[in-house]
Structure 1
Amino acid sequence: MTVVTDAPAAKASREVPPSMVERMTLILDAFDGRAARLTLEEVACRSRLPRSTVHRILDSLVKLNWVEHATFGYRLGRRALGTGGDNGQSEIREAAAPLLHELHMQTGMVVHLSVLDGHEMVYLDKVGGRMANTIPSRVGGRAPAHSSAAGKAFLAWLDPERVDVLCGGNLVRTTPNTIVALPTLHLELNRIRQRRGLAFEREESARGVACVGAAIRGPEGPVASISVSGDVRTAPLERVAPLVVEAAREIGRTLYPELTAPRRPARPAVPVPTDTWSPEARARVLGGRVGGWI
């Protein structure tokens, strides 16, 4: 007796695409570490999913902050990294801690370490001794990125399109000095870039408080910011600004030592003769009037 089997149906059951959750898992598993940076083709190859499917799912993951998209391709986003730990925040805090205390001792002001989360800055650390109580902030607390020096310093190193997505609908006013227009914010971020990343803020986030901040930058952009705050009437922001910039750079060098590789030594300057013309050549060119004026 011949047994008839539904071969196409059996084959289809073996080739049923995985569920959406399984597809997302395959794509996230393609990133083999928090620093992995992959192109669309690499994600499709590693996940063994069709390129069009990977592209569609990645777009959704980017919108939900599971994945980040930049010029180099894709990497795990803050939400994905946060599920397995603290998104590297412990590493940042450890690298920054001695510099924060030194900055407080040098300036006598309140020092903050913060990271961007959506359109807000989250405070990872605050150093200020008895003065800390004069600033309305706390570890774990949040502040709008567009109204704080730390936030503006961070936003200044992001693509303008990214700033639009993050802040476009979130420019809330917290004081009369808060920037609430997107074009004005972009002008401010451009000024910050012209100052090599130095951001100032006077009563934009809280009344009576002035602040100066700078971003801590990694290979692919900013990873955190440090800032120094004080009374708007007495805070010497311009005087302490170089200390803030140097502290941010030092933390960056600690986190990413590969960025501090020694540069190639400059080539020695080749001496240029002061007079490369012989008297005979000069006489021929000038028609014999060597000492005269033409």
Structure 2
Amino acid sequence: MARVDPAESTAATRRSTRVAPSMIERMTLIMEVFEDRSTRLTLEEVGIRAGLPRSTVHRILDQLIGLDWVEHASFGYCLGRRARSFGGSIDGEVRAAAAPLLHELHMRTGMVVHLTVLDGPECVYLDKRGGPFASSLPSRVGGRGPAYATAGGKAMLAWLDPRRVDDLYGEGLVRRTDRTITDIATLHQELNRIRQRRGLAFEEGESVRGVACVGVSIRGGDGPVAGISLCGDARTAHLERVAPLVVDVAEEVSRILIPAPGGPTRGRWVAGTHADTWSADALDRLVSIQTGRWV
């Protein structure tokens, strides 16, 4: 009779009695495969790295997407906003990078400046700069607003996968004023116009009556990072004139947060200047990509 090695017998017993990993353990294994916010993986890659069956990974990823821990786009899966901002570090980094530029933008235009980030279907205000008109706006640092009804929010939504937008607003859009977008098809049309305008988003009275705004998204490799918008009285605001300044600030913040390989780590935005590509004719053509009004 063959002699059984006690060590092998013990290992076999452990394998036969090993308990399948719990849901929390499986979620942890999946989250750990994303080394940082730049990691992008296919479903198969996530399964191989986590050592879990494809069907299990797909089911758990769907749940993580619903909770904003993971995002899914055309390039695959990456960390979601909740994971990227865990502990507030990412939001703090964005606010610190943008702060001096937001101040200069307000001083240059005299308008209210907002810095926002997406949190599900809403935008969260990280910063607000403005003069007397600011007190008439309900926005506040730390407060929330409907992303689909604000210029900064729409500018960010425009760079999400359309399926993600459907998921965010599957339960419908709440009317804020008589100019609020209230159906998903119209919202998709508006987001398409924003993409055609190189990311420029406009709104007039969609969130607050009598207020007009222009916004643009700060974009990173994984999509929208934050949104910057200028707001003013709809009767006197000349959004076409200030739109290039908002674009320049967003691009400068992007360069600060995500420097180009081999390039300088920080640039310098000079108030009153903007890129040569933003000629008056070019801006007129961009703004005209609409149907009678900005919405």
Shorter-chain TM range is 0.7 to 0.9
Q: Are the counterparts in 2 of residues 27 and 54 from structure 1 also a CA contact under 8 Å?
A: yes
1:56 to 32, 56, 59: 59
State the 1:246 CA deviation. 1.1
Report the equivalent of 2:179.
177
* 3-state SS of 1:258 partner: coil
Please give the secondary structure, in 1, of the residue aligned with 2:227: strand
Output the CA distance in 1 between the equivalents of 2:187 and 2:262: 32
C-alpha contact (below 8 Å) 2:123/2:146 kept by paired residues: yes
**By how many angstroms is 1:37 displaced?**
2.0
**Unaligned runs of at least 5 residues, structure 1:** 263-294
- In 2, the alpha carbon distance for the partners of 1:10 and 1:98 equals 60
Distance 2:178 2:96 in 1: 36
Q: Percent identity?
A: 65
Task: Output the CA distance in 2 between the equivalents of 1:81 and 1:249.
Answer: 21
Q: 1:199-258, CA deviations, whole angstroms, 9 ceiling, x for partnerless residues? A: 111111001211111111112321110000011111111111111111111111111112
Cα deviations across residues 29-66 of structure 1 (Å, max 9, x unaligned)? 22222332222233223322233322222222122222
Change (3 A) 1:42 1:130: same
Change (3 A) 1:173 1:259: farther
AA matched with 1:145: A
2:107 aligned residue: 105
Deviation at 1:9, TM superposition (A): 6.1
Match of residue 73 from structure 2 = 70
Q: For residues 74-153 of structure 1, what are the structure 2 equivalents within 5 Å?
A: 74-82=77-85, 84-86=86-88, 88-153=90-155
Once superposed, what is the RMSD of the aligned Cα atoms?
A: 2.4
- Show CA shifts across 1:170-219 (max 9, x none): 41100011010222112211211121111111111001211111111112
The equivalent residue for 1:222 is 224
Name which structure has the greater RCO, CA cutoff 8 Å, separation 6+.
2
Q: What corresponds to 1:26 in structure 2?
A: 29
Q: What is the distance in 2 between the residues matched to 1:57 and 1:23? A: 8
Q: 1:136 offset after TM fit, Å?
A: 1.7
Task: Give, as a single letter, the amino acid of the residue that structure 2 aligns with 1:72.
Answer: F
Q: Which residue of 2 aligns with 1:280?
A: none
Normalised to the residue count of structure 1, the TM-score between the two structures is 0.81
Asked whether the equivalents of residues 71 and 80 of structure 2 are also in contact (C-alpha less than 8 Å), the reply is: yes
Runs of 4+ in 1 over 3 A off after TM superposition: 5-11, 259-262
Does the 8 A contact of 2:172 with 2:184 survive in 1? no
8 Å contact 1:215–1:248 — kept in the other structure?
A: yes
Equivalent-residue separation in structure 1 for 2:147 and 2:220 (angstroms): 19
C-alpha distance 17-130 of structure 1, shift in aligned 2 (>3 A) = same
Amino acid corresponding to residue 177 of structure 1 in structure 2: R
Q: 1:178 to 1:260 in 2, by over 3 A?
A: farther
Aligned match of 2:190: 188
**Corresponding residue to 1:232 among 226, 234, 242:** 234
The unaligned stretches of length 5 or more in structure 2 are: 265-295
